[in-house]
Structure 1
Amino acid sequence: MARVILRDGRVAELRRARNTKEEVARIRELFAKTSPESLYFRFFHMIKEVDDKTIISMMGDGKQALALICLHEDEVVALGNYKATHDEMAEVAFLVKDGFQGRGIGSLLLAHLAEAAWLSGFRNLEAHILRDNYRMLQVFRASGFEMVSESDGNSVHLIWRLGRHEQSRNLQAVREKLATAASLHPFFQPKTVALIGASRNPKSMSHQILRNLLTAEFTGVLYPVHPTAKAIAGVRAYPSVKDIPDSVDLAVIAVPAAGVEDVVDDCLSAGVKAVMILSSGFSDVNAAGAELEQALLDKLRSAGCRLMGPNMLGVLNTSEQVRLNASFAPEMPKSGRVAIASHSGALGIAILDYASKVGVGVSSFASLGNRADVSGNDLLQYWETDSETDIILLYLETFGNPKKFSRITRRLTRNKPVLAVKSGRSPASLFASHRIGPALVHDDETISALFRQAGIIRADSLQEMFDITALLSTPVWASGDRVAIVTNTSGGAVLTADMLTRERLRLMHPVINLGFEALADSYREVLPVVLEDNSVDAVLVLYTPVGPSEEDEVAEAIADALREVRAKKLGQGEKFTKPVVANFLFRGDYLVRYIPVDTAYRVPIYPFPESAVRALARVVEYQNYRRSPVGRIVDLADFDGETVRNHVRQQLGSNVHRTLQERELRELVEMAGFTLEQLPEECRVRCSIRVESDPLFGNLLRTYPEGIGAFQGVYAVRLLPLTDLDADALARLVAGWFADAHTRQRGKSALAYYDGWVSDLTDFFSRLSQLVEDVPEVSGLQVTIGNYEGQIGWVGKVHAELGRPSESEGPVLE
C-alpha cells in the first residue's frame, strides 16, 4: 500500500486490488455510484451493473493482468487495470468516481500501472478511448510518454513504449511536488488551530504550547480543547474538537499516548485537515507503541488526513500573515528566509535558539519526530514551492527513502541551497540513540556521494552549518576560488593561507599586511583597491587586536570601503559580486557576528580564520555546482534496452535468482555495446567496478583501483542511475588513477594518454548505468578493467547476479 497525494492536497491510498468477497463488493459499489456517462466512457456502451466475474477478471494474477484501486476515507474512488493482449502488449483502462475526477488520480494510476507492467516484462501499453472522453485523453497526452495515436471515428487508439523516460519522470515529479506542498499547507498556514489536551497548569508542556501560540500572536483562530475547563489563559475552551463551531485546519494533540486514538477519532469526525501529535510513547519506545502508531496512521490515511509526528516538538511559521508557534520553542525566532527541519525534537529547539543568537532569520521550522507520515522529503517539496524560503537546513539521523531524497534535492538545489548535518556516521552512535537499527548508521562515503550528486552542502557540525548559512544569507556569493587576504598580523595570515590550500582555494597575490598603525584608515584605503582587482573573487579580512582595541573602528572602516565600491559599481551599471569574509580574533565569544553595510548586505565575522575559510570554500563549491550544466539521466540512443532485457530474462528463465557464468556475462556486455581501448601492457594496475543493490539506497556503483599500495582505501561511490555529468566525472577520476599509477611505475607522465581514454570510460559508465536502469533483473555486477596476467581489457573478476524484480521496486510501494 502506498500513500499518494492528490492535486488538491488530499491524501489517498493506492494499492493492488485483492480477490476477496469484501474487495469485490467495494469495487462493485464504485461502479454502482458512478454516473452512466462515466460508465459509458469506461465500457464503450451503456451498462447498469458490473458483475463479480468481470471485476475478478480485471484483477488477474499481477502478471498478465493487474488492477490497482485508489481509496479515500476507506472508499474505493478509482480503479485502473491492465490486461495482456499478447506477449509484449497490455491494454490499460481507468474509472474514476465522478466527484474525484480532475484531481490527478488518473495520472497516478497510469504512472503506477505503466511501471508495474514494465517490471512484469511488457514492452508496450495501449488504450482505447472514446473521442468524447476529453479528460481521459488529456491524462494520457500529459503523461510524458511518447504515444502513437490512431482514430477509427468514435474512438482513439493509443500505443506507447514502456520504460523509465526522463520526460515522464519529470512530469510525475512536478505533479508530486505541487500536490505534496498543498497537503502540508494546513500545518504551516492554518486558519484555525485546535490544541487538544490544553492544560491550565502553567508548568505543563501543553500549557507552554498554548502560551507560545498566544505570545507569537497567531493570526488565525485558536481553540483550546479541555474536557471540563470553560477557558484556559483567557481563551474559551471546548470539551471536544467535535464541539468547536468552526472547521479546523490543524489539530495539535498533546495528550498521553493511551488517549491519542480516541482524540484522532474525534478529529476525523470533525473533518480536521491535518493532525500533529506531540505525545511520545509510540514507535520511539517499543513494539506495542509502534503498533499503535501504525493503527493511527491507517485511520488518518484512510480519511485523507496528514499526520506529523508522533513524538515531535512542533512547527512554526514566522510569516507576518501567519505567526504560528505551535512548538516548544520558548521564543518566536527572528523572521527570515531560512527553513529548518530536525529529526531530533530537543536538538531542533536548540538549533532555533542558536539561529537567533547568530542572527539567522527563520521562515519556518518543523521537528519531525517519528515521521510516521510527513517526512523530510515532504518538507523539502513544500519549501521548494515556498516563496518565503531561500535556504534549507536539515539535521538528519536516518534516511526514509534516499532515492526520492536524491531526486528531490537534485532539482531543488539548483535554486535553493540545502545544508545538512548527518549524524550516525559511526557505529559508536548506535549506543547513543534509541533508534537502533541498520538505517541509523550507514556507509558514510555512500551518504557523501548522495550529497555530492544532489548538490547538498554537507557540514560536519551544527556550528559549521550556521557558519556557512551566515555567508549564504548575504546577497553576494563568490564567483570563483581566487582569494585575497588583508590582515594586520602575519600569524593569522599564515594559518589562513594553509587553510585555503587544504580547502582547494587559491591565494591571489602576496598577503597584504597593514601592520599595527592607523588600522581603521588602512583598511578603509586598501580594501577598495583589492575589491576592484579583477583577479580576485573574494576577500578575507583578518583583524587581531594589539593593545587598545579598535574593533568598532575597523568594522566601520570595512563597511565604508564596501559602501564605496558598491556605490561605484552601481553608478557604472554593474553588479557588486565579491564577498568579504572577516575574522576578528579574541572577541570574547565564539559566535558568528556581522558588520552591517546597508539594509541588504552585511559581512559575517567569524571567531576563527579556519571557520571563515571553510564557510567560503563550501559556498564556492556550491556555486560551482549551480553553474555546472544540469545533468540528465543517461539515455543512449544506440542502447537497445528491450533486446538486452529479453536476453537477460531468457537467461534467468524460471529462476528467481541466478549467477551468470563469465561467458554469459560477456555476451551480455557485448550486446549492451560495451567497448574499451586496450591499455598499455606496462601499466600494471586494475580498476574494479561493482554494481550492488543496497537495501536503503537502491542501486549503487562502486569503483576502486586494485594492485597499487598507494591506492588502498581510495574508491568512489555513485547512486544509480547516473547523469551524463556523473559518468564524465567518474571517467576522469578513473583515468586519473591509471595515469597516476603509470607515472609512478614508469617515472614519466602518462596523463595525456589516459586523458584521451576519458570518452571511452564515459561511454562505459553510461552504458553500465543504463543497463541497470533498463534491465531491473540485473541485481549485481562486477567487472575489472586493466592488465592482469598478460590480459588486457576485460579482465579479472567478472560476475553478475540476476533476480526477478519485485513490485516494491516500482512507485506503487515507494
Structure 2
Amino acid sequence: MSAAGSGSEAGANAQVVRAVLADGSVVTVRLLERGDLAELERLHGALSAEDRYLRFFGAPSDTSIARFLRGLVEPGDAHVVALGAFEGARLIGVGHYELVLPEVAEIAFVVEHARHARGVATLLLEHLVAVARRRGVRTFVAEVLAENSAMLEVLRDSGLPHEAHLDGSSYQVKAALDAGEPYQAKVGDRERIAEVASLRRVLGPASVVVIGAGHRLSSVGNAVLHNIVHGGYAGTVHAVNRSGGEVHGVAAVRSVADIPEPPELAVLCVPAESVPTIAEECGRCGVRALVVVTAGITGLPDVANELLTAVRRWGMRLVGPNCLGLVNSDPQVRLDATFSAAGIPAGAVGVVTQSGGVGIALLERLDAAGLGVSTLVSTGDKYDVSGNDMLLWWERDERTRIGVLYLESFGNPRKFSWLARRIGRSKPLVVLRSGSSPVAQRAALSHTAATATPSSTRDALLRQTGAIGVDDLDELVAVLGLLNWQPLPAGPKVAVVSNAGGLGVLAADGCARAGLDFAEFPQACRELAVLLPGQASARNPVDTTATLDAATFGRSLEIVLRDPAVHALIVPVLRTAIGDPGDAVAEAVARARAAGCDKPVLVVRPGQQESVRQLPGGTSQIPVFADPALAARALADVVGYATWLVRPSGAVPDLGGIDVAAARAAVVAALDRSPGGRWLEPEEVRRLLTSFGLSVVPTTLCRTEAEALAAFRELGGCVALKVRADGVLHKAWAGGVLLGVSTVADLRAGWERLRQRFGAGFGGVVLQPMVEPGREFLVGVLSEPSFGPVIVFGMGGIDTDLIADRSRRLVPLTTRDAREMLDELRAAPGLFGPDADRALDTGAVVDVLLRTARLAELVPEVVEADLNPVIATGSGVRIPDARIRLEPRVLGDPFLRELGG
C-alpha cells in the first residue's frame, strides 16, 4: 500500500461521519469536495486578522489563499487530505495534511472564531490520524507560531507521542501516529465528556414535546404524554396535535413551530411516512434530540434516509426508531417518556435494550423484586444512540451502580469491549443474551432490523470484558438482586444450610451444575455438632432438621459464615407449624457482618410468588429466591465477575521480531495479482507468518518430480510430502499428506501415488523436513463482518472439527486473554495443568496466539487463517501447515469518535 492510498479508499472516506464536540453539540466530518469551495472561501474570508496571521504566518495575498483553497478541494491529488467539520451546511473548521515524505505529512487547522474552545480542531485531528494511518502515514509534523497557544495545546493534549522544538518564533512539532493505549485513553476521555454533554439533552432535557399526542386513550402518543405528566416530570411539557385541544391537562398546539421556546427533546409518535418531515421541522425550530417511537421506518429505505438526513443536517441526537422510549428516575428529572404501564421504579440499575417488550417486562420485574432503574433507554433500530453511548453515560452517572444491556446486535463491538473492560472495574455489567438459535436470530432480524450477533463470538466478547451473561429474565433479576444487596464473594466455595434435607440436596445439585465448589469446614462442623440435634447433619450441605427453633438456626448460620473456608452461603428454608427459621436469617447475617464476616447470603423459599424478592425486615438486604437452581446460577454468575475483577488485567505486549512493512508488501503484492482476494500460495503464507515472528517449518514448492528430487537432496533426512492440488484445502483429510519419506525411492513412489490420486487437479507437492512429534493445536483467524478479526484456539489435527474443543477472543489480544484461551478448553487440565500427560511449552503457545492476533489486527486483509497443526512440545512450537485467505479490506478505527447513523 502506498503512503498516499488509493482512490477507492478516498471514496470510502468521503462518507459523512457524525461526532460530538466537547460541549455536546453534534457536527459532521467528511472529506472536502469541489462543492465546498464557496463555504471554504467564506470560512477563510471571515477570519480575523489575528487568526489569519496565526494560520498563514503573515498576510498572504488573496490570490495565494484562493489557490491554496482550490488545492484542498480538487480531486486527484492523493498527497493532500482535507477534512471539514460542518454544523448543518455551515463549515466551521478544516483540518488537512499534505505529504512531505512517503510516511510523513504536514498538518494545519483553521476553526471559525466563534467556535473556538469547543474541540473542533481536536476532533478533526483525531479523524485525520485515522485517515492517515489507513494510508500508510506514520508521522505528522507541524510548524506552529509560539503565540498560537491554542494549537500547541491541541497537539500537546492529543495523546500522540510528540516532541516540540522552538525554532526562532515558531515551534517545530513532530508527532508519531501511535494509536496505542495512551492515545486511545485520551480519545476515550474526550469522548466521555462530549457524550455525556450530548446525552443530557436526551436523558435530562429542560423541556419535552410529544408530537402525535392523540386524544384517544389507546394511542401511543397519548400514553407517552400520560406517563410524562403523571410521572412527575420536572421540566416543561408540550404537546402537538393537529386538532389542538387539551391532552392530559396540556394545551396542544398544531406544530412544533407554534411553541415559543424550542423544546430540547421531541418524542415522535406519528405514522412512519410523516417522521422525516416532522424531524426536519424539529431541527429547524431548534430541537436538540429526538425519540422516534414509530415502527416500520427501517423497512422504508427512503423514509429512513430522509430521517437520517434531517438528523445530520440539524445536529440532533436520535433514540430509535421503533422503540419504547426512555426513562430517567433522577429526582431532578423524573422523565418517563415511554408507553409502558410500569411507571418509574427508581433504583441503581441502568438499562439499555433494543427490544421495547424486554424493557417493559424488565421494569415490571424489577419493581416486583424491590429493585429499580436509574435510566432506561430503548434503542430500537439503533440509528444513533446505542449501548456504547449508555456505557459512557453510566460511567459518569453516580446513580447507576449496575448496567444491564439487551442487545441483539453490536454496532461497534471492539469499542464495546474497550469500554466494558474499563467500566466493569467499577460497575458490573450484565448482558441478557439473545439470538443463540437460528429461530431467535430470524426473530431479531424481523423486529429490530438487526443482524443478530453470532453466539460464540458474543460469548467470547463477554468473557473478555468481564460482563455477566445471563439467559433469561429470571436469571437477570436474580443477578441484579445479588449485586444490589450483597457483597461480592471472595471465591467460589459455597456452603448450604437448610432446615429441610431434601431442599438442601436440591440446592447442592444446583451449585454443582453451576460450577461452584463446596466448602469443607471441619471447625464449623465441630461447633455445629454441639449446637444441632443428634439427627442433624453438620457437614456441607448442612441439615439442621425441621424441628430447630429460629434462634438456634440463626446461630448455625453465624458459625458457618465465620468459617474462612466459606465464601458464600445459600440458605433454603421452609416454614413449618413449629416455626419459621427464615425469620432469623437477617439478624444472623447482620451479627456476622458486624463481626467482620461480610459474605453473600442467598435465601431460598420454594413456593413464593416472585422468583426473586428482598427479604423483609432487618438491616441487611438479602435476596430471596423461589428456586434453588436459580440462586445457584446467580451466585455462579457473580463469582465469575468477582474472579475476573481480581485477576491481572493483562496487556497487549510489545512483541519483538515483527516486520509490518514486509507483511504489508507481501499483502499488496498478492492483491495486485488477485484484486478480488484469494488463498495464498505456501511460500506467500510462509513470508507473511515469518514477518510476524511465527515459527514456520521451511517449505519448498515443487511443480515437477525433478524439482522434488532436488529439494529432497537439499533438505536431507526425513521429509513430509504434501500435495498441491486445485480445490484441496485440507490435505490430510483428502489423503494428500505422506510422512516419513526418507529415500529417493520413497519420494518417487509418493509423487506417483499423489499424482494418480488427484488426477487432473494435481499441481505438484510441498516438501518439508519432519518435525518432532507433539501435541497438535489449531490457531485460527476469522474476520466477522461486525466484529472484525476473531482469534480461535482449539485442538488441532485432522479431528479438530470432530472434537470441536475451542475458545475465541476478539483482537486486540492481551496476555491474559491468550492464557485464558488455553484454560478454557475442555481438555485443558490434561494439557496444561499439573496432571498433564506431557510437559508443553505453554509460553510458546501463548506467543503464537499473541502474534497471530497482532497479524489479524495490523493486516485487516487477512479474512481467514488456519494454522493447523500448531505442534507444541516441551521445547517450543512449530507450524508445519497453514492457510491464509486475503480480501481487499479497510477496517475503520473502532476507537474513533463517531456516532451511529
Give, as a single letter, the amino acid of the residue that structure 2 aligns with 1:532.
R
> In the alignment, which residue of structure 2 is the partner of 1:154?
169
Hey, what's the Cα distance between the residues in 2 that align with 1:190 and 1:53?
A: 46
1:669 aligned partner: 689
Task: Report the secondary structure of 1:541's partner residue.
Answer: strand
* 1:783–1:794 Cα contact (<8 Å) kept: no
SS at match of 2:410: coil
Counterpart-to-counterpart distance in 2, 1:332 and 1:182: 26
Structure 1 Cα separation of the partners of residues 805 and 822 of structure 2:
15
Deviation at 1:786, TM superposition (A): 4.2
1:275 corresponds, among 262, 265, 290, to 290
Match of 1:335 among 337, 340, 346: 346
Task: Decide whether the 8 Å contact of 1:275 with 1:307 is kept in 2.
Answer: yes
Match of 1:602, SS?
A: coil
Change (3 A) 1:676 1:455: farther
User: What amino acid is aligned across from residue 718 of structure 1 in structure 2?
Assistant: R
Name the amino acid aligned to 1:579. P
Say whether 1:794 aligns with 2:878: yes
Give the Cα separation in 2 of the matches to 1:202 and 1:698: 47
Contact 1:785 1:793 survives alignment (8 Å): no
Structure 1 position 521 matched with structure 2 position 540: no
Check if 1:534 corresponds to 2:528. Answer: no
2:816 corresponds to:
725
Larger Rg: 2
Q: Distance in 2 between matches of 1:627 and 1:794?
A: 34
The CA deviation at 1:616 is 0.5
Separation in 2 of the partners of 1:463 and 1:531? 27
Correspondent of 1:400 among 408, 411, 420 = 411
Counterpart-to-counterpart distance in 1, 2:547 and 2:898:
69
Q: Contact (CA 8 Å) 1:317, 1:363: kept in 2 or not? A: yes
Determine the structure 1 residue equivalent to 2:757: none
Match of 1:101 in 2: 116
State which drifts further: 206-215 or 763-772: 763-772
Contact (CA 8 Å) 1:514, 1:522: kept in 2 or not? no
The separation in 2 between residues aligned to 1:185 and 1:760, in whole angstroms, is: 49
Contact 2:265 2:291 in 1 (8 A): yes
Deviation track 1:404-432 (CA, whole Å, cap 9, x = no partner) reads 22222121111111111122111122443
Q: Residue deviations 1:476-523, cap 9 Å, x none?
A: 121111111101222222222233223221111322211111341331
Structure 1 CA distance for aligned equivalents of residues 832 and 641 of structure 2: 33
Closer, same or farther: CA 102–712 of 1 in aligned 2, 3 Å: same
Structure 1 residue aligned with 2:457, among 441, 446, 458?
Answer: 446
* Residues 1:127 and 1:804: Cα distance change in structure 2 (over 3 Å): farther
Contact 1:426/1:441 (<8 A) preserved: no
Residues of 2 paired with 1:267 and 1:473: CA distance? 40
Residue 237 of structure 1 aligns to a residue whose secondary structure is: strand
1:55 maps to a residue whose letter is L
Instruction: For residue 595 of structure 1, report the CA deviation from its aligned partner.
Output: 1.4
Classify the secondary structure of the residue corresponding to 2:881: strand
Match of 2:600 among 575, 579, 589: 579
Structure 1 residues 807 and 336: alpha-carbon distance in aligned structure 2, compared to 1, 3 A threshold: closer
Secondary structure at 2:175 match in 1: strand
Quote the offset at 1:84 in angstroms.
1.1
Contact 2:209/2:238, CA 8 A, preserved across alignment? yes
Note if contact 2:146-2:170 (Cα within 8 Å) is conserved in structure 1: yes
Residue in 2 that maps onto 1:78: 93
Per-residue CA deviations over 1:133-153 (Å, capped at 9, x if unaligned) read 111111111111111222211
**Contact 1:532/1:565 (<8 A) preserved:** yes
Q: Is 2:49 the partner of 1:36?
A: yes
Alpha-carbon distance in 2 for matches of 1:739, 1:803:
38
Report the CA distance between 1:200 and its aligned residue: 2.5
Which residue number in structure 2 is paired with residue 57 of structure 1?
71
Given candidates 753, 773, 777, the residue that maps to 2:839 is: 753
CA distance in 2, matches of 1:538, 1:768: 40
Structure 1, 301-310 or 773-782: larger mean CA deviation = 773-782
Task: Note if 1:364 corresponds to 2:384.
Answer: no
Matched, 1:262 2:260: no
- Between the aligned partners of 1:485 and 1:769, the Cα distance in structure 2 is 43
Give the alignment partner of residue 624 of structure 1, picking from 626, 643, 646.
643
Alpha-carbon distance in 1 for matches of 2:289, 2:817? 40
1:687 aligned to 2:777? yes
- The residue correspondences of 1:247-396 to structure 2 (distance < 5 A) are 247-283=262-298, 286=299, 289-396=300-407
Cα deviation for residue 85 of structure 1 reads 0.6
> Structure 1's 235 and 749: CA in aligned 2 closer, same or farther, altered over 3 A?
closer
Shift of 1:659: 4.4
Deviations 1:686-740 (A, max 9, x none): 2121112211110111122124869712111110111221122235557x95873
Work out whether 1:557 is the aligned partner of 2:581.
Answer: no
The C-alpha deviation readout for 1:362-415, integer Å capped at 9, x for no partner, is 111111122111122212211221111111112222222222222221211111
Measured against aligned partners, the alpha-carbon deviations of 1:64-87 in whole angstroms (never above 9, x if no partner) come to 221111111221111111111122
Other structure's SS at 2:122 match: helix
Classify 1:354/1:455 alpha carbon distance in 2 versus 1 (closer, same or farther; 3 Å): same
Say if 1:201 and 1:383 are closer, same or farther in 2 by CA, change over 3 A. same
Amino acid at match of 2:316: C
Match of 1:490 among 496, 501, 507: 501
Moved more, 657-666 or 554-563: 657-666
* CA 1:539–1:808: 2 relative to 1, 3 Å: closer
Separation (CA, whole Å) in 1 of partners of 2:424 and 2:163: 36
- Correspondence 1:772 to 2:856: yes
Answer yes or no: is the 8 Å Cα contact 1:708–1:741 preserved in 2: no
Does the CA contact (< 8 Å) of 2:293 and 2:321 recur in 1?
yes
Report deviation, 1:604: 0.7
The CA deviation string for residues 215-271 of structure 1, in whole angstroms up to 9 with x for no partner, is: 111111111223342433332333322222334111112222232233223212221
In the superposition, relative to structure 1, how do residues 653 and 88 fare at CA in structure 2: closer, same or farther (>3 Å)? farther
Pick closer, same or farther for the CA change 1:230–1:279 going to 2, 3 Å: same
Which residue matches 2:542?
A: 512
The DSSP-based 3-state class of the residue aligned with 2:380 is: coil
Cα distance change on mapping 1:481 and 1:138 into 2, 3 Å: same
Name the residue aligned to 2:141: 126
Moved more, 663-672 or 325-334: 663-672
Task: Give the partner amino acid of 1:169.
Answer: Q
> Aligned in 2, Cα 1:749/1:228: closer, same or farther, shift over 3 Å?
closer
Give 2:628's match in structure 1, choosing from 583, 605, 609.
609
Q: Secondary structure at the match of 1:109?
A: helix
The secondary structure found in structure 2 opposite 1:515 is coil
Report how many aligned residue pairs link the two structures.
788
Alpha-carbon distance in 2 for matches of 1:322, 1:725: 42
SS in structure 1 opposite 2:144?
A: strand
Quick one: which of 700, 704, 708 aligns to 2:794? Answer: 704
Q: Deviations over 1:201-224 (max 9, x none)?
A: 333222222221121111111112
Q: CA deviation at 1:278?
A: 1.6
CA separation in 1, counterparts of 2:182 and 2:852?
Answer: 21
Residue among 510, 516, 525 paired with 1:499: 510
Given the alignment of the two structures, is residue 193 of structure 1 paired with residue 212 of structure 2, yes or no?
no
- The 3-state SS of whatever aligns with 1:435 is helix
Q: Alignment partner for residue 847 of structure 2, among 740, 745, 763? A: 763
Shift of 1:637: 5.7
Structure 1 distance, partners of 2:870, 2:280, is 65
1:305-340 deviation line (CA, Å, top 9, x unaligned): 111122222111112111111111224232110111
Match of 2:612 in 1: 592
Could you say what secondary structure the match of 1:473 adopts? helix
Query: For the Cα contact (< 8 Å) 2:368–2:610, is it kept in 1?
Result: no
SS of the residue aligned with 2:430?
strand
Distance 1:200 1:181 in 2: 35
Question: What is the TM-score normalised by the length of structure 2?
Answer: 0.82
CA 438–198 in structure 1, closer or farther in 2 if over 3 Å, else same:
closer
User: Structure 2: where are the runs of 5+ without partners?
Assistant: 1-15, 521-538, 699-768
The equivalent residue for 2:193 is: 178
Q: Identify if the C-alpha distance between structure 1 residues 247 and 533 changes in structure 2 by more than 3 Å, giving closer, same or farther.
A: same
CA distance in 1, matches of 2:578, 2:197: 54
d(CA) in 1 for partners of 2:567 and 2:884? 49
Identical aligned residues as a percent: 31
1:235 aligned partner: 250
